[in-house]
A and B are shown apart, each in its own frame.
Chain A
Amino acid sequence: MLVKDYMTRHPLMAEPTMSIVEAQRYMGENNIRHLPVVGAGKRLLGLATRQTLLVEPGKLGSLDVWEIARTLSGLALEDVMTPAEDVITTGPDITIEEAARIMVENKIGCLPVLEEGVVVGIITEIDLLALMMEIMATRVPGVRVTVRMPNVAGELAKLVSAISAHGWGILACGGAPAPKEPDKWDTVVKIRNIPQAEIVAALGQVKGQEIVDVREV
């Protein structure tokens, strides 16, 4: 699960001379929110987002309609983009969670993926959310059980062996510290083709663990 497996290769990109009016149209028509600006050899020069394309009123001399129109028509991407040195980027060989950390800590929506200064792809928050969906096997119906367990080693193994004792398969599995209970851990497992009642009966037997949520999804 590395960035290179989930990024979009060959993203839509623009030249620095593209007017911002054109860029807005281009992003709108193709339904994208981030537009890497590249020069020769797909070298990253900057990044345009829908926000950078909004012109700050302070930059305008006046709010006169003609003034606005003139200013807008004269602006190109190179005037408004975030320049390359300020763009936070990543490489194709880092982990997905590391990419997520960079995006969360900087509160940004995308990371252009570079290899020696050349754009090879882009990864956005949507890519990460889509991956989360896949990790939880969202598209496949099954029973989703959340089990709260003590945050110590060996607890997950107990749960897994209870499931495998019945010969069931685990479709998806994930875990995180339980909210507001520092010594507990919540594990979500998804099981396919087994009635909910049977699963509840089986997992309810595991000592020291508690089913906090169960539902057919």
Chain B
Amino acid sequence: MTTDHRIQTPILKVENLAISYETRKGDVQAVRDVSFEINRGEAHGIVGESGCGKSTIAFGIVNFLGRNGKIVSGSILFQGQELRGREESELRRLRGDQIAMVYQDPMSALNPSLRIGEQMNEVLIIHRGMEKADADQKCVEMLKRVYMPDPEAVMVRYPHQLSGGQQQRVVIAMALLNNPALLIMDEPTTALDVTVEAAVLDLIGDLRRDFDTAIMYISHNLGVVARVSEKVGVMYAGEMVERASTEDIYLHPLHPYTQGLMRCVPKLGLSKESSYLYPIRGRVPSPANLPPGCVYEPRCDYARDVCRRKHPELHALSPGHFVRCHLVSEIAGAEWQPPEGVLPDLTARRTEAEPILRVSDLRTYYEQPSTSALSLFGLGEKRYVKAVDDVGFELPKGCTLGVVGESGCGKSTLAKTIVGLESPTGGKIEFMGFDISVPVKKRDLELIEELQMVFQNPDSTMNPSFSVGHQIGRPLKRFKTVPRDEVRGEVIRLLDAVKLSVDYYDRLPRQLSGGEKQRVGIARAFAARPELVLCDEPVSALDVSVQAAVLNLLLEIQREQGTTMLFIAHDLSVVRFFSDYVAVMYLGQICEYGPAEAIYAPPYHPYTEALLSAVPIPDPTVEQKHIRLSGAVPSALDPPSGCRFHTRCPRKIGEICETEAPPWREAGDGHRIFCHIPLEELRQMEAVVTVEG
């Protein structure tokens, strides 16, 4: 049914909005000349890397800019009424009644000391003056609406007793209690696992349809935005550089930045080639120091003279498609060629080389403190969190193994046990022929030297008070890789290898961006020329354009030095293009293992199938099977009997799954699947990802 007789006024109309923050160095324009509108029941995505002003727009709309932020010019019309210059009391009422926000971290939006029920019904009791009993009932209904399992029980729990996905559901339910006309979501799924993220995104779509709520969806993830929104605005350095329907943005991106973003996002398309990442050179300029012409000019492959001189305006290219670029008509027709030398050599190198790492029956248990009185005397039954349980694999020299799985699957524990930060409870780890099932303290210095690690969060793994040069030099001195007087030269060589100039030698970590810090982390890990490097989600904390550059760099160095690598990631799209082998972990066990290409095509383990179907793909032409896992990963304290995945498995075949541990099904070429379903049936599964038409 067309709705052209309905109210035409958009729920939200932002026009030429400019927002500044006052700083000691003067005003910094965080957002400039941003315009867009959202109609009722429509979802509008805002994408861009960190520091592009996405959240500032959201804060500007609800006047939440803090003491030093102010709206400089432009207008924000909500339901046809100007929000700018409203009094605080009016705005507060409006926010409570008609605009709701959902933030990235659900835990920080919930009060940890109040039960879920108490904080939810407060909304209704305060805003609507409802009786407690009525309010409670309404809250339970809303929790059901967001597909919360067992809502009555959830009402009396505390936030920490819920999983991240459940917490976010509570926050969304709370936001919807007042039936807002506009829902602003700022990275609502970024902190969640892919499988949970997929379920939350489905939920958002359902709610939008049922409540006719307009949604402003902020995310750095193009795939996520493609899945939920009808229109997308791309932000870069405080400006909206392109705005169009989702399909236009993904199929015909016109701004060079949008095109660049598309190329550096892992895609999980059909072929391995489509998952290559092409980084964008340079970095986002700071808002205090913008280039005089086009803000993207310093990073643009097409830049001309005019781009340096004149600031481009946002102009309509076709109805509903706006681009801020001087050369757009030229770019539209041009076929983009990847510049030479951007990609490291990515030919798979599964050789018959000797395994350098051999892990067999590895178990790492954490003892759980018991609450029983008997345990005071050491008599109570000991309980263990089985973080890694019976894991075995071999990794040939010079190859890369990708390890994927949801959080809580034991990926990091596995890496920590191998590197020696945790001591194994049982099993054997053999590295270069030596048994290393002992903690790092008892290992020989030579062994430690050969085994290094790159951590997820570069901020917390670097000593903030030591210079970059000192940090990279430390392993060189400790392992005596080079004579003492050559350390400086070697550090500079390493800096050069990670594409940082000599100037960085004396800088402190706080003077570096996230991507630069991670480069230093990589340089440090590779400094002693180790044989094996363990990377624990080294790029998850980074922006997409930086992510691609860091990944490519990591691979380049690995290929140069012939290093073996174990690479942990939380979703299957990232590891695809460079892994030789992939291991999928679930609840402490490997459930599928094999050559990378085999993992992405049938036969699948049912868990791998679900993981693949959950990955958001920024390409509307790609058809993805819809499989959603219910619930969260069960506790590793008391893992399910039989096949551990049976509680969530959509393909469970019967009682056998609950009682017996599944056999390894050999699918050939080293591809193993840990499942009761016979191989012939697994082979008949359809591919999860197909291209339309």
Closest to A122 in B: B7
CA distance A45 to B11 in the complex (A): 22
Closest to B8 in A: A31
- A215 interfacial contact with B, CB 8 Å: no
**Of listed A29, A118, A139, residue having the most chain B CB within 10 A:** A118
Stretch at the interface among B45-53, B124-132, B439-447: B124-132
- A192 interfacial contact with B, CB 8 Å: no
B288-310 interface code vs A (CB 8 A; 1 in, 0 out): 00000000000000000000000
Distance in Å from the Cβ of B100 to the closest Cβ of chain A?
Answer: 12
In B120-179, which residues have CB < 8 Å from any A CB? 127-130, 134, 178-179
Which residues from A are CB-within-8-Å of B97? 40-42
Instruction: Name the contact of B9 in the complex, choosing from A30, A120, A129, A134 (C-beta under 8 A).
Output: A30
User: Does the CB pair B130–A12 fall under 8 Å?
Assistant: no
Q: How many residues of A contact B (CB 8 A)?
A: 26
User: Does the CB pair A32–B212 fall under 8 Å?
Assistant: no
Which residues from B are CB-within-8-Å of A120? 179
Distance in Å from the Cβ of B215 to the closest Cβ of chain A?
Answer: 12
User: Does the CB pair A42–B98 fall under 8 Å?
Assistant: yes
User: Does the CB pair B1–A41 fall under 8 Å?
Assistant: no
User: Does the CB pair B5–A13 fall under 8 Å?
Assistant: no
CA distance A216 to B211 in the complex (A): 38
User: Does the CB pair A13–B1 fall under 8 Å?
Assistant: no
User: Does the CB pair B6–A29 fall under 8 Å?
Assistant: no
User: Does the CB pair B7–A8 fall under 8 Å?
Assistant: yes
CA distance A81 to B314 in the complex (A): 44
Supposing A26-B80, A41-B97, A41-B128 touch, asked if A12 and B178 sit within 8 A by C-beta, the answer is no
CA distance A117 to B127 in the complex (A): 12
CA distance A32 to B5 in the complex (A): 10
In B79-105, which residues have CB < 8 Å from any A CB? 79-81, 90, 93, 96-98
User: Does the CB pair B5–A127 fall under 8 Å?
Assistant: yes
Closest to A15 in B: B90
Instruction: Name the contact of B1 in the complex, choosing from A10, A30, A134 (C-beta under 8 A).
Output: A134
User: Does the CB pair B7–A12 fall under 8 Å?
Assistant: yes
Which residues from A are CB-within-8-Å of B9? 12, 30-31
- B40 interfacial contact with A, CB 8 Å: yes
A119-140 interface code vs B (CB 8 A; 1 in, 0 out): 0100000110110001000010
CA distance A14 to B244 in the complex (A): 32
CA distance A8 to B11 in the complex (A): 12
Supposing A10-B40, A31-B8 touch, asked if A41 and B80 sit within 8 A by C-beta, the answer is no
Instruction: Name the contact of B5 in the complex, choosing from A30, A126, A139 (C-beta under 8 A).
Output: A126
Closest to A126 in B: B5
Which residues from A are CB-within-8-Å of B96? 41
CA distance A9 to B181 in the complex (A): 8
User: Does the CB pair A9–B211 fall under 8 Å?
Assistant: yes
A1-39 interface code vs B (CB 8 A; 1 in, 0 out): 000000011111101000000000010011110000000
In A40-74, which residues have CB < 8 Å from any B CB? 40-43
Which residues from B are CB-within-8-Å of A32? 7
**Chain B interfacial positions (CB closer than 8 Å to A):** 1-2, 5-9, 11, 40-41, 79-81, 90, 93, 96-98, 127-130, 134, 178-179, 181, 211-214
List of 9 A-B pairs having minimum Cβ-Cβ separation, nearest first: A10-B181, A9-B212, A41-B128, A41-B127, A30-B9, A30-B80, A130-B5, A12-B79, A126-B5
List 15 interface pairs A-B (beta carbons < 8 Å), by A numbering: A8-B7, A9-B41, A9-B179, A10-B40, A10-B214, A13-B79, A30-B8, A31-B9, A32-B7, A40-B93, A41-B96, A41-B129, A41-B178, A129-B5, A130-B1
13 more contacts with CB within 8 A, not counting A9-B211, A26-B81, are A8-B40, A9-B212, A10-B40, A11-B7, A12-B9, A26-B80, A32-B7, A43-B128, A116-B130, A118-B179, A127-B5, A129-B5, A130-B1
